[in-house]
């Protein structure tokens, strides 16, 4: 039995971020393997922070 109902495959649900009008996207890639992504607005401060962290060096290399 899956914890995520099969009916959510392909669903787009509003929400997921307190700073913008994000949407949650659900996709079952194979039985039992789910992709759940959050699509933020381009102007979202949370999304900009995530992008900046991904562009920077890993924290283990920072002094």
Rg (CA), the chain: 15
Q: Choose between 56 and 35: higher pLDDT.
A: 35
Ranking 16-20, 43-47, 52-56 by mean pLDDT, the lowest is: 52-56
What band does 59 get if pLDDT is binned at 50, 70 and 90? low
For residue 16, tell me if it sits in a domain. yes
Which pTM does this prediction carry? 0.71
The residue count of the chain comes to 63
- Assigned token pair, 32: 């039992």
Judged against a pLDDT cut of 70, whether residue 46 lies above it is answered with yes
Domain count for the chain: 1
Q: Which residues pair with 13 in a beta bridge?
A: 24
For residue 26, tell me if it sits in a domain. yes
What's the pLDDT at 60?
Answer: 63
For residue 62, tell me if it sits in a domain. no
CA 19 to chain centre: 14
């Amino acid at each position: 039995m899956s914890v995520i109902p099969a009916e959510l495959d392909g669903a787009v649900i509003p929400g997921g971020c307190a700073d913008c009008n994000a949407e949650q996207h659900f996709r079952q890639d194979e039985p039992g393997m789910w992709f759940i992504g959050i699509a933020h607005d381009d102007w979202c401060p949370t999304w900009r922070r995530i992008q900046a962290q991904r562009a920077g060096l890993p924290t283990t290399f920072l002094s």
